[in-house]
Chains A and B, each alone.
Chain A
């Protein structure tokens, strides 16, 4: 076994995942393709209209929506990146000890300050 270097590392334990992904994708596509051979196709104009409780659709379906969704998306990016920083810290916590504890308390404090600010700015309020 040669030492693992960037050149020769073969992630062989990921091979089953790749095979499973191929099988899962083939299962999805296969069920649809095989089904297409048996399915009936009898469509008319009314059936192909977007569903709006039986009425003819009014206006554009993709209309303007609340800006709140954008704020949620931005908050998600902030907090999810924080979470990503916490994972490696949690894994090596045993080995680093007090330094890791203090460091992460500072990190979480900064995070909480931002969280309180977002709360005060009513970013989590939805009406």
Chain B
């Protein structure tokens, strides 16, 4: 085996490749957690300015160190476990969403060839991990032994499973066009068009996916599980300190992962439209990670923008949107895509 130009004896082969994997994972996890920290800062700044406020200003220049102050505070906060809670479940529950959403990062290609695990069923793996996070919510709601938590957990589980269906169906169009579940191949397949993205042939799928992604990550306007005006904080009302921070972190990692999936499946990932690269050849020299992060940050910004704009849905509206609007749209998208693909040939 050849590592960095040196020939390594066969016995070291497995050890070195595992070491490389661990270093790669450590870098990606650290960078992701940093992005999560700053996603909270970014959100508070964006929403602050949209509401003609300044957002955090005190800690560091323009509040730039605010996320670290928050993190340190939460780390040292008392960890209150209610006397009547189911202690084991209560303590384990917050780890599950963080575990699931962090594991989902494994299959995301950040740029060409840079992915922790380039598996063939990447998209399925992402679905599996994103639905696993719901267990943390349900367990928290049940174990807290509080009415607000219980209602929040129930609502959340119903919401997550309702929107999982349109979300799963909205990506079938992408699978039809690319013929693959491997995220790297999905990105590469989009280069066949001059506009280099599935956003145009799959605009319906993109719309359904984004709305479902908002609901899956419990973001406004679908943040009913934690609707603070009626359920205080929903499923994590009894949590404090680090465990509370875990739910928060999981929500933001989930948001970033969903944005990454949207970028990979509909916006051409780290690539640019071929027509653009042909017109301005200099753009090809820019590393792909720049475009990828720019597109991801646009989607993260979209989350904040929607939060500042749209009021919360009522629960019956949420359910009827999922089942009566998004599900038929996603099915229609599949039918239209398959018929067009059949007659257009390819």
Identify the A interface with B (CB < 8 A).
13-17, 19-21, 23-25, 27-29, 31-32, 35-36, 38-43, 45, 47-53, 57, 61-63, 65, 68-69, 72-73, 75-76, 79-80, 83, 86-87, 90-94, 97-98, 101, 104-105, 108, 111-112, 115, 119, 124-127
Closest chain-B Cβ to A65's Cβ sits at a distance in Å of: 6
Give Cα A87 to B64, complex, Å: 44
Query: Measured between alpha carbons, how far is A53 from B241 in the docked complex, in Å?
Result: 20
Q: Which of A24, A29, A42, A105 contacts B102 (CB 8 A)?
A: A24
Interface of A is mostly: helix
Given known A-B contacts A24-B102, A52-B147, A69-B154, A16 and B116 have beta carbons under 8 A apart: yes
A17 to B124, CA, bound (A): 14
- CB contacts (< 8 Å) of B319 on chain A: these are 72, 124, 126
Chain A proximity of B114: nearest CB distance (Å): 12
Interface of B: prevailing SS: helix
12 other A-B residue contacts (CB within 8 Å) besides A62-B150, A112-B331: A16-B24, A20-B102, A24-B29, A27-B98, A35-B75, A39-B77, A39-B241, A61-B147, A69-B158, A76-B164, A87-B124, A126-B316
B68 to chain A, nearest CB (A): 15
Contacting residues, chain A, for B331 (C-beta < 8 A): 108, 111-112
The answer to whether A83 and B243 touch across the interface, beta carbons within 8 angstroms, is no
Question: Inside 8 A of A27's CB, which chain B residues have their CB?
Answer: 29, 98, 102
15 residue pairs of the A-B complex, CB under 8 angstroms, read A13-B119, A16-B25, A19-B25, A35-B76, A35-B241, A35-B242, A36-B79, A41-B79, A52-B147, A57-B147, A61-B150, A69-B157, A87-B172, A90-B172, A104-B338
Whether A97 pairs with B82 at a CB distance below 8 angstroms is no
Which chain B residue has the least Cβ–Cβ distance from A42? B78
Q: Are A91 and B81 in contact (CB under 8 A)?
A: no
Check B29–A23 contact: CB distance below 8 A.
yes
Are B146 and A50 within 8 A (Cβ)? yes
Most chain B beta carbons < 10 A, residue from A35, A42, A112, A125: A35
Contact A32 B341 (CB under 8 A): no
Q: In the assembly, what is the distance between CA of A91 and CA of B29, in Å?
A: 31
The chain A residue with its CB closest to the CB of B165 is A79
Whether B162 is near chain A, meaning CB under 8 Å from some CB there, is yes
